[in-house]
Chains A and B, each alone.
Chain A
Amino acid sequence: MTDEMSIENYLAQGGVLTNPSNVPPRYRAELMKMMATFVDSELAGAAGFADIINEGPGIKARIAAAKIVLEKSDSAEKVLRIMGDFGADTERYADHHPWTARLERNADIGQSRTKHDMRLAVFNYPLEGWADAVMMNLLMGRAVALQLEELSHVSYQPLAEAFRAILPVEAHHAELAEEGLMALVEAQGTQALQELADYWWPRVAASFGQEASEKFEGLKAMGLRRTQNAELKARWQQDAGAILGKTGLKPAA
């Protein structure tokens, strides 16, 4: 039991960390960024969706939308609590920022974040009505499920466990969106919906980050990532493309 091993070496070999007291500084920074990205995206997503609840056609749709807002807030809290273990002031964090703030519909921001929070770029675009929200939720919901599957293997065990608990909840949101989309296609045909798919497809695709990220190897050595962005994106394209196909829609060219 006497052999010594550095934390870096331990992580590179697949080791797991379990509390803030022994995470190295750069690991801490990447982990905090990862958590902040998730929390900000969930809070911004919930805030944006809250405005849509009343536009839902019928009570069932409104219940589904309200449930999504509730559960996204709950998921954000689960991860924010872990940020709190590292010293973040969780109450202040949740309220320090206007999560409903959005940019212009045609703002061309690619993968960049705004200066004020870490939400994924896609959450900066405004939702325009019920059908738009359903389409965004479907495409992004599938992306989130794939990203969470990847992140549920991170080497910080409390976070991996949180993501494992969150994964089925978020996957269900995409299922609700799929049902919603089916209903919309039946009611109004595909033409207007295809325009929405064309709008959201490239923006959700951008949320997978740069195809060849220089940081990937470093993150992999810390046990924070395992699958390349490009591969995750390809999986999503196939997965989301198939769901659109079922309704007679197609991915943006």
Chain B
Amino acid sequence: MARFHDLEVTDVRKTIRDAVVVTLKPANGAAEEFDFTQGQYLTFRRDFDGEELRRSYSICAGKDEGILQVGIKRVDGGAFSTWANTELQAGDTLQAMAPMGSFFTALDRATEKNYLGFAGGSGITPVLSILKTTLAAEPNASFTLVYANKGVNTIMFREELEDLKNLYMGRFNVIHVLESDAQEIDLFTGLVTEEKCAQLFKHWIDIQSVDTAFICGPEPMMLGIASALRTAGLGDSQIKFELFASAQPGRAKRKATATDAASSANQTKAAITLDGATQTVEMGKDMTLLDAALENAMDAPYACKAGVCSTCRCKVLEGEVEMVANHALEDYEVEKGYVLSCQAYPVTDNVVVDYDQ
């Protein structure tokens, strides 16, 4: 189960106008928990007006740097990222889960690999961690970074990347592709699309020699690049993705409160939505929501039926239900109205639940 640890903020530094790099130090002896692998991310939680928000941000530090750092770019309407960019300061305490994610490959000093990284905007954070770690750990590795941004002034870590180029002369190369700022070479202007990649592979990048490619950016960019890489002959196992969807909801809505009180009757009318279709069923209060759905030929998801796996999770929109066991959902999910339907018995005479939320 997920567990949060306290982290002390030791530094908050602006990298561009609307992005900060936050340096963290595990508190209360949790250092071991935060021994990360390059390319992993941290999930933070914080209360905003009594409601818990969770956000994930990638670690941008290299493994060998001995520090824990994340990059946080401000998103329009994003409560957490705005707060981190305007109010967070050294001395504050943040709470995060141990590093997660598998956006990395194993390192081996003896190999002589060629890596290719693609980053769009703040997608640079995990790629930066990977390239710093890899270049330090594999003395014969080379790394080419294709870095897409709107314009020169929105390039995160621009100076740091220049420094790395000097440090790893001949092994590290950056191609900046800018959407709106014209560059000397036409190819480096515009969006990083499938066609753009194909041209880069023709003139600038020896794609045949690439062992592994890393992509982190918005959805359309990831699709285009992956498609170009496959056309160029890379297999699934050679392409590593990291997607942090731009569509993360800004703030969760409050759980609907019970509209009717419990009554003495032992029957409940349950409106159950699954795959966009809603069925209203009569069920006994001694039956779980999951069984009611299954009995009515709905293909509701489940696996363990013991409250441990969370496959059967659904959201209660109206009415009240009671869970007899819960080993999978966390308090904040329960607060939002999520229940394990295999463990949930109706309490009120009417309930409305949804498997699609």
> Which residues of A are in contact with B by a Cβ distance under 8 Å?
1-7, 9-10, 13-19, 21-22, 25-26, 28-30, 32-33, 36-37, 40, 83-89, 92-93, 96-97, 115-118, 152-153, 157-158, 160-161, 164, 215, 218
Contact indicator B226/A14 (Cβ below 8 Å): yes
Judge if B304 is at the interface, Cβ distance under 8 Å: yes
Q: A85-B100, A97-B306 in contact; A21/B56 too (CB < 8 A)?
A: yes
- CB-CB < 8 A to B226: which residues of A? 14, 16
Name the B residues within 8 Å of A161 (CB-CB): 102, 237
Stretch in contact with the other chain, from B163-171, B245-253, B255-263: B245-253
Interface of B is mostly: loop
Of residues 305 through 357 on chain B, the ones whose CB sits less than 8 Å from some CB of chain A are: 305-306, 308-313, 327-330, 333, 355-357
Of the A-B pairs whose beta carbons lie under 8 Å apart in the complex, a sample of 17, sorted by A's number, is: A1-B149, A15-B219, A15-B223, A16-B243, A18-B243, A22-B243, A26-B275, A26-B355, A29-B313, A83-B309, A86-B310, A87-B330, A88-B308, A89-B308, A89-B309, A93-B309, A117-B304
Residue of B nearest to A13 (CB): B223
Nearest to A32 among chain B residues (CB) is B311
Query: Which residues of A lie under 8 Å from residue B308 when comparing CB positions?
Result: 88-89, 92-93, 96
Partner of A5, one of B103, B220, B301, B355: B220
5 nearest A-B pairs in the assembled complex, by CB-CB distance: A36-B303, A29-B301, A22-B245, A32-B311, A89-B327
Partner of A25, one of B102, B241, B328, B355: B355
For residue B351, give the distance in angstroms from its CB to the closest CB of chain A: 18
Q: Which of B219, B305, B310 contacts A116 (CB 8 A)?
A: B305
A103 to B120, CA, bound (A): 54
Which listed residue, A3, A19, A32, A83, touches B41 by the CB 8 Å rule? Answer: A19
Given A1-B150, A85-B100, A117-B304; A29-B355 close (CB under 8 Å)? yes
Cβ of B139 within 8 Å of any chain A Cβ, yes or no, is: no
Contact check, B241 vs A6: say whether CB atoms are below 8 A apart: no
Residues of B within 8 A of A85 (CB): 100
Assign chain B's interface to a size class: 35 or more
Which of the residues A3, A19, A152, A215 comes within 8 Å of B100, measured between beta carbons? A19
Residue of B nearest to A96 (CB): B306
Q: Cβ of B305: which chain A residues have Cβ within 8 Å of it?
A: 115-117
Asked if A6 contacts B247 (CB within 8 A), the reply is: yes
| CB-based contact A36/B243 at 8 Å | no
Instruction: Known A1-B179, A115-B305, A160-B236; judge A21-B244 contact (CB<8 A).
Output: yes
Evaluate contact between A29 and B311: CB separation under 8 angstroms: yes
* In contact, A36 and B223 (Cβ under 8 angstroms): no
Q: Are A10 and B223 in contact (CB under 8 A)?
A: yes
Contacts A88-B310, A93-B309, A215-B299 known; 14 new A-B pairs at CB < 8 A: A1-B121, A1-B149, A1-B150, A3-B220, A14-B223, A15-B223, A16-B241, A18-B241, A19-B244, A22-B244, A22-B245, A29-B301, A32-B301, A89-B308
Q: A16-B243, A88-B310 are in contact. Are A10 and B100 (CB under 8 A)?
A: no
Contact of B1 among A2, A30, A89, A115 (CB under 8 A): A89
- Docked Cα-Cα span, A33 to B342, in Å, equals 14
Minimum CB distance partner of B327 in chain A? A89
A25 and B310 form a contact (CB under 8 A): no
Taking the closest CB of chain A, its distance from the CB of B281, in whole angstroms, is 19
Number of A-B contacts (CB under 8 A): 144
Tell me whether B236 and A21 are in contact (CB under 8 A): no
Is B101 positioned at the interface, with any CB of A under 8 Å from its CB?
A: yes
Measured CB to CB, the nearest residue on chain A to B299 is A215
Q: List residues of chain B with CB under 8 Å of any chain A CB.
A: 1-2, 41, 43, 54, 56, 100-103, 120-121, 148-150, 179, 191, 217-223, 226-227, 236-237, 240-248, 275, 299, 301-306, 308-313, 327-330, 333, 355-357
Least distance between B342 CB and chain A CB atoms (Å): 11
Chain A residues positioned under 8 Å from B245 (CB to CB): 7, 21-22
Closest CB in chain A relative to B96 CB, distance in Å: 13
**Contacting residues, chain A, for B56 (C-beta < 8 A):** 19, 21
Q: Tell whether A93 pairs with B218 under 8 Å between CB atoms, given A1-B179, A161-B102.
A: no
Residues of A within 8 A of B329 (CB): 87
Q: How far is the CB of B180 from chain A (nearest CB, A)?
A: 10
For B103, the closest partner residue in chain A by CB is A18
A89 to B220, CA, bound (A): 35
Q: Is the CB of A93 within 8 A of B304?
A: yes
Give A16 to B310 CA distance when docked, in angstroms: 22
Residue of B nearest to A10 (CB): B219
CA distance A157 to B239 in the complex (A): 10
The answer to whether B102 and A3 have CB atoms under 8 Å apart is no
Question: In the bound complex, what is the Cα–Cα distance between A169 and B326 (angstroms)?
Answer: 34
A7-B247 contact, Cβ under 8 Å, with A32-B303, A33-B301, A96-B304 = yes
CB-CB under 8 A from A7, the residues of chain B are: 219, 245, 247
**Cβ contacts under 8 Å, A92 to chain B:** 306, 308, 327
Least distance between A245 CB and chain B CB atoms (Å): 32
For A10, what are the chain B residues with a Cβ–Cβ distance below 8 Å? 219-220, 222-223
Q: How far, in Å, is B219 (CB) from chain A's closest CB?
A: 4
A3 near B218 (CB under 8 angstroms)? yes
Min Cβ gap B69→A in Å is 19
Chain A residues within an 8 Å CB radius of B309: 32, 36, 83, 88-89, 93
Residue in B closest to A153 when the chains form the complex, CB atoms: B236
Contacts of A1 in B (CB 8 A): 120-121, 148-150, 179, 191, 217-218, 221
